Structure formats: structure tokens, C-alpha cells
Amino acid sequence: MNEVFGYAVWFVQLCLAVAMLNATVRLFLGPAAQDRVLAFDALYTNGMLLLLVLGIRSRSTAYFDIALLIALFGFIGTMALARFLLRGEVIEP
């Protein structure tokens, strides 16, 4: 790994960490429930990307598997929250 790539990876990780911090603030202080669902979506997406960059930097495939699980559970969580906001229930009787 050359020196420029190393600096670029650190910069990307810093930017993703700042984006996760902003999403966390919006998650707790959001004025509406829709804003909080969108912040949750941004939070898990940035977390997944942070793990992918960490996997590229360390050349380990374990981070890619964990990022895939985060994407799966985050998508299911977003769908459940959206269904709850639309219908008031997650599981239909």
C-alpha cells in the first residue's frame, strides 16, 4: 500500500466517522419520526462503509462479512420502522 492510499483511507474513515456523529445527533434530536428513520438509515449505511474501508485497509475478509450483516439487519430495521410509521403495527394479524 503506497503512502497516498494510506492517507486517503484515513481521510475516508474520518469523514465517515463525522457523518456517523451527525446521523447520531439527528437520530436523537430529530423533529419528526421520519427524520429519525432516515438518520437510522444513514447511520447503518455509514457504519457499513466504515467497516468496508477498514477491511480494505487491513486486508481481512471478516470485515466484509460483518458489513454484509449490518446491511441486512439495517435494511430489515428500516423496513420495520417504516411499516410501523405507516400502519401503526409491524406484524399484520
**In whole angstroms, what is the distance from residue 22 CA to residue 9 CA?**
20
Structure pTM? 0.83
- Digit-by-digit pLDDT tens for the chain (93 residues) are 688 988 999 999 999 999 999 999 999 998 888 888 899 999 999 999 999 999 998 988 899 999 999 999 999 988 888 888 888 776 766
**Maximum Cα–Cα distance across the chain:** 58
**63 alpha carbon, distance to own chain's centre:** 14
* Contact criterion met (CB below 8 Å) for 54 and 13: yes
Amino acid in position 80: A
* Contact criterion met (CB below 8 Å) for 20 and 47: yes
Domain ranges of the chain: 3-23+40-87
Amino acid in position 89: E
